Amino acid sequence: MWHNLAQLPRYRGLVQSLVARELKARYRGSVLGFFWSFVNPLLLLTIYTFVFNTILPNANQDTRPYSVFMFCGLLPWTWFSSSLLEATGSLISGGTLIKKVLFPAEVLPIVSVLANMVHFLLGLVILAAFMIGTHHYPDLIDLPWFPVVVLVQLVFTAGLALMLSALAVHFRDIRDLLANLLTFWFFATPIIYSYLMPEVQRLYWLFRLNPFYHFVVSYQELLFFYGPFGHLRWLGPLAAASVLVFLAGYWIFDRLRDSFAEAV
């Protein structure tokens, strides 16, 4: 396992070109092309703004402007969930590569995660535009922590992606299970509601078991709420847990590796 893991950096050229291909291929043939990466979150954000300002005005003063608040949690969540969904099918859809070409299989789920990360980063541009539009700016002092949180989430997501993609080769049910599980997970994480709500605080002991709770709260504290980055003390344990998840995921992947060419 360690030997294979050490090989990983050697594939960066391959990963790079595959991510680029993924992004190019996705919008090839559409008129707006790459702009869809901006347009998608922009439209989404516009809809949420309309719904929660006009139709269901949010009484909670903490989360105003609500669209910006919600986007701080929704963007990383979208990155996370679409990465996992895509990665889970990545080995199966990349079957010819695994069967017919000497190809490092772990590249495929990692490419899924990275391609979605690019969309996440582009979404941040839209978020920034909305922040300017609503005159709601994050604290610049804590902002350097932002890339650290992104990096930790990358490690965490990659670990799960490796694990799920490998298991999905043998258990095809995982793809459907995952889609449902992610819906549940989404609502169990304070993305569309605030973690400051008393109901959430009362169940804090339960919420804190959810790793994504910590990611979302970190993003919200960094990008939305004023005041110091209080959740910083959780970042260390979160990073450690993410590294463990990655190693566990890679271990499972590595154990199952030899069966891919035959079972895909």
Partner 1 sequence: MSPAATASVRQAPAIELAHVSKVYRRYGGRHFATLKSALLSGSLIRDLRPEETFQALRDVSFTVAPGQTLGVIGRNGSGKSTALKLVAGITKATSGSVAVRGRVSALIELGAGFHPEISGRENVFINGIMLGLTKREIQRRFDEIVEFAELREFIDAPVKTYSSGMYMRLGFSVAIHVDPDVLLVDEVLAVGDEGFTHKCLDKFGEFKRRGKTILLVTHSLGLVERFCDDAIWLDAGVKRAEGDPKRVVGAYITDVERQEERFLAASDARTTHDAAAPAAADGPLPAETGAADMAQATEGRWGSGGVTIGSVSLLGADGQATHLFHTGEPFTAHFNVHADRPVTDFVFGIGLFSADGVCVYGTNTDVEEYAAESLQGDAEVSLSIDALDLVEGTYKLDVAVHRRDGAPYDYHRFLYTFRVKSRLKDVGIYRPKHRWTFTGGARLKPKP
Footprint on this chain of partner 1 (rule: CB under 8 A): 13-14, 17-18, 21, 24-25, 28-29, 96-103, 167, 170-171, 173-174, 252, 255-256, 258-259, 261-263
Tokens of 85: 């969904």
Least separation in angstroms between CB 18 and partner 1? 7
8 Å CB contact between 143 and 222: yes
**Cβ-based neighbours of 197, under 8 Å, separated by 6 or more:** 60, 190
Q: For residues 72 and 256, which CB has a smaller minimum distance to partner 1 in the complex? A: 256
CB of 12 to partner 1, least distance (A): 11
Q: Which is nearer to partner 1, 28 or 202 (CB)?
A: 28
Return d(Cα 11, Cα 108) in angstroms, integer. Answer: 11
- Min separation Cβ 236 and partner 1, Å: 29
Contact 91, 103 (CB under 8 A): no
CB of 29 to partner 1, least distance (A): 7
Nearest approach, Cβ of residue 208 and partner 1 (Å): 24
**106 vs 221 by CB, closer to partner 1:** 106
Conformational region of residue 229, where left means phi above 0, alpha means psi within -120 to 50, and beta covers everything else: beta
Between CA 144 and CA 214 the distance in angstroms is 17
CA diameter of the chain: 58
Sign of the CA dihedral 248, 249, 254, 258? positive
Structure tokens at 36: 């869809």
| 164 CB-contact burial (10 Å; exposed 0-12 / middle 13-18 / buried 19+) | buried
**Nearer of residues 11 and 193 to partner 1, judged by Cβ:** 11
Nearer to partner 1, 199 or 258 (CB): 258
Which of 252, 247, 221, 250 lies closest to 235 in space, CA to CA? Answer: 221
| Least CB distance to partner 1 at residue 129 (A) | 29
Q: Which is nearer to partner 1, 241 or 261 (CB)?
A: 261
